[in-house]
Amino acid sequence: MEISNNAVVGLTYELKVSKEQDEIESAPFSVEVRDEEDPFYFIFGQSGLPEKFESYLAGKKEGESFSFIIPTADAYGEADEELIMALPKDQFSKERGFEPFMLEEGNFLPLMDENGFPLQAKVLKDLGEEVLLDFNHPLVGFDLHFEGEVLEVREATPEELDHGHVHGEHGFDHK
């Protein structure tokens, strides 16, 4: 079976990123490895990843390897200054499930938006009564270099399509 819309896809890959600065491309460095012990499974067309990621995989079959680069503009774009904001520290209290070390510079805070969807913010700076947070995607501003192999391609079940995620061994378990 070929990778196409609504197929369940399992991949192993290494993701490296690079950044262009002053017209000089940095050497790519590894930021994530999904191996056979921890493969990445998703429903094609619903991965939540940049569109180009799925377009480069379309038509591939189980056992095929892949290697492609998604430029910044087609990945997560450039940083949006409006997504950097100072919030009162008292919003991140123990009562709300936060520990003081979580507000240290460089940490990512696990948060939820107003609709209950998970998101994260990087702590940029402690401003005393406030903390400066960056809500941009962590890979904003980077070219994404993917190299890997297609482990599995199968039809998604009606339940998986209805729920929008993979079930079973490599997916979500509703138990």
Distance CA 56, CA 173 (A): 29
**β-bridge mates for residue 61, sequence order:** 2
CATH of domain 7-75+140-163: 3.10.50.40
Pairing type for strands 108-112 and 7-18 reads: unpaired
Distance CA 30, CA 5 (A): 29
The pLDDT score that the predictor gives to residue 173 is: 60
- Count CB-CB contacts under 10 A for residue 37: 7
Stretches where the chain sits below pLDDT 50 are none
The pLDDT score that the predictor gives to residue 165 is: 85
The pLDDT score that the predictor gives to residue 48 is: 84
- Torsion (CA) 167, 2, 37, 30 in degrees, nearest 10: -120
Tokens 């056992």 sit at which residue? 63
CATH class given for the domain over 81-134: mainly beta
Supply angle C-alpha 28, 34, 36, rounded to 5: 135
Instruction: Determine what percent of the chain is predicted with pLDDT higher than 90.
Output: 74
The pLDDT score that the predictor gives to residue 164 is: 85
What is the model's pTM? 0.82
Q: Is 41 helix (H, G, I), strand (E, B) or coil?
A: strand
Domain boundaries defined on the chain? 7-75+140-163, 81-134
Distance CA 156, CA 84 (A): 38
Q: Is 44 helix (H, G, I), strand (E, B) or coil?
A: coil
